[in-house]
Homo-oligomer: A and B are copies of this chain.
C-alpha cells in the first residue's frame, strides 16, 4: 500500500466545530481549547470567523480570542472571512492566514449567498487586496467538491476550474470541502489523482465529513494517491448544518489511524485526546470520537 511518509493536519474544532454549537461558548473557554490545541503540534489551527455577528453569533468574539491566546511559534492561526471587511478585521486581530469560502456548484452557492460561483470568485478581489497589503496568505475553501445536495455529482473539471480561478486571484492553497458528507473512497481517489496531477504546485487540503461513516475510508483512499493535507476537527465537532450531519472527521481518530499506518503527523496523540475531552466538556455534548472512548490501540495492549 502506497502511503505518504508524513501529512499536515489543519485543526477545525475551534472554528468550524464551535460554529455549529447552538450556545455561545465563553471566550475564555475557546482560548483554553485553542491553547491546548497549540500544544498538540497541529501546524494549522482555525480559530475564528470574522463574519456578521448576527449570522454566526457563536463566533462574534474573534478579536478577543486572537488577543487572548498564547501563540506558539510555527503554528498558523487562521481566521475565516466572507468579504473584504472581514479580511480587514482578521488582519487587525492578528490572524496568520485567512480563509475564504464559496461553492463549486452554482446552485449551492446561490442557495448560500444568492450569486453564481463565478460572481463569488470575482468578489474575492477585495479580500485578496487587503491580504496582500497585510502580507497574510489566503486559502480558498471550495464547498461541494465531492457532491452537491442540489446537483448531485460535481464534475472534476468544474472543481479544477474553481481551483484555477482562485489560484490566479492569489490563493496560495485550496481546501476541497465534502460539505454534506457525499464523498466516497473511489470518487476521492479519482478526483484527487486528477487534481494532484493538474495542480502540482498548489497545496490541496481535503475537508471530509463523516456523515455516512466513510470519513476515514475516504482519507485512506486520498493517502494512497498522495494527498498529504487534511482538515479535521477535535472530537469530531462541527460540520455543515445539513440535517443529520455527523460533522467533520474526528482529529484524534484520524491521527490515531495515521500513526497506526506509520504516517507521521508531528502531533502528540495523547495531548490531542486531552483536547477532545476539553471539547466535549465545553460544548456539553458527547463527541463523535472513537479513540476518546476506546483509547489507543497501544494503550489497550499495555493495559492487559
Contacts and interface: CB of A to CB of B under 8 A. Distances in A.
Interface string A287-303: 00111011111001101
Contacts of A212: 253, 256-257, 290-291, 294, 296-297
A294 B216 contact: no
A228 interface: no
Interface string A260-280: 111000000000000000000
A294 B250 CA distance: 17
Interface in A181-216: 181-182, 184-187, 189-190, 210-214, 216
Contact of A220 (B152, B220, B303): B220
The size bracket of the interface on A is 35 or more
Interface stretch (A25-33, A61-69, A239-247): A239-247
Contact of A301 (B152, B187, B214): B152
A150 B304 CA distance: 5
Nearest to A258: B184
A3 interface: yes
A257 B221 contact: no
B246 A293 contact: yes
Interface of A: 1, 3, 147-152, 180-182, 184-187, 189-190, 210-214, 216-217, 219-221, 242, 244-246, 250, 253, 256-257, 260-262, 289-291, 293-297, 300-301, 303-304
Given A211-B294, A212-B296, A217-B217, 16 more contacts: A149-B303, A150-B301, A181-B294, A181-B297, A184-B257, A184-B260, A184-B297, A185-B220, A186-B260, A212-B290, A213-B291, A214-B253, A214-B257, A216-B216, A217-B220, A246-B290
20 contacts: A1-B185, A147-B301, A149-B304, A150-B301, A150-B304, A184-B260, A186-B260, A187-B260, A212-B253, A212-B291, A212-B296, A213-B291, A216-B216, A217-B217, A217-B219, A217-B220, A217-B257, A244-B295, A245-B294, A246-B293
